[in-house]
Amino acid sequence: MTQKIKKIDEEALAEAYNRALALEKSGHFDAAAAAYREVLEIDPEDHGGAAVRLASMGRGETPLKASDAYVATLFDQHADVFDNVLVDQLHYCVPLLVRQRIQALGLGPFKRVLDLGCGTGLTGGALRDMAEDITGVDLSENMVEIAHEKDLYETLYVAEAVDFLDDNDDEPFDLIAATDVLPYIGALEPLFFGAVDNMVPGGLLIFSSESLPDETPAGQGFAVGPHQRFAHSETYLRERLAATGFEIVDITDITVRMEEGEPIAGQLVIARFKP
């Protein structure tokens, strides 16, 4: 069957998106929301992240995740300056915190490590001497190319994290790391179930998450914050982990990054798969 592919009107898309951004920045949120809906009509795959912007303004439903097209575009655009911006400007040090917690708890070394959302290889570099074999997965082809140049991974894939976990039939892993992945995923069941399917009994899952602010309505497990990233409540994390067969080993409150000079609060979670 031949599928007709709709060609995006790039000029109309750019005009609508720029108009939406300008309206949002000037505080005209209803008009901005209307413009973002135009953007989604022109580009249903949502390369610009209109859906999460609508949710962050409280003008649209919270999506289950950021669109793959948006995440790939976002990181492809920033791949060349990623390490500098994230580490030097945003003071992102989660990979080093992962290493410190693993050492403090006396965990490892590891035979097979899976680094989901590996980016340019920051977590792979932090764990390299703790693992015999590291596989990296990222949705951004440009990021994976940079990680490849660093020679940190035995294997690298360009793929969305949950899709990779669903399709992978290689040997199971004894550590799965997902640093800076949850800010682009709301509902966590697919990720956690996928991890279980790719993990040895007793294997570890370690991930970072941005904390859901206290003023969020009670019972809401995840939401899109003002910077268009997902935040999760600790209660939600604990419930979803327990429901998918994990027990908590350690939860540490951390500063995930700086944003406009303000620290972004989060958690670093280590959980063990108990079949």
pLDDT, tens digit (0-9, with 9 covering 90-100), for 211-248:
997 656 666 899 999 889 999 999 999 999 999 999 99
The pTM of the full predicted model, rounded to 2 decimals, is 0.91
Upper half-sphere CA count for residue 94 (Cβ side, 13 Å): 36
SS3 state at 99:
helix
Q: What is the predicted pLDDT for the residue at 8?
A: 75
SS3 state at 55:
helix
Q: Which fold has domain 81-273?
A: Rossmann fold (3.40.50)
Q: What is the predicted pLDDT for the residue at 5?
A: 45
> For 138, which DSSP code?
E
pLDDT under 50 in the chain at which residues? 1-5
Q: What is the predicted pLDDT for the residue at 134?
A: 98
Q: What is the per-residue pLDDT across 144-163, written as a single tens digit (0 to 9) for each? A: 999 999 999 999 999 999 99
Domain extents in the chain:
81-273
Q: What is the predicted pLDDT for the residue at 208?
A: 97
d(CA 222, CA 218): 11
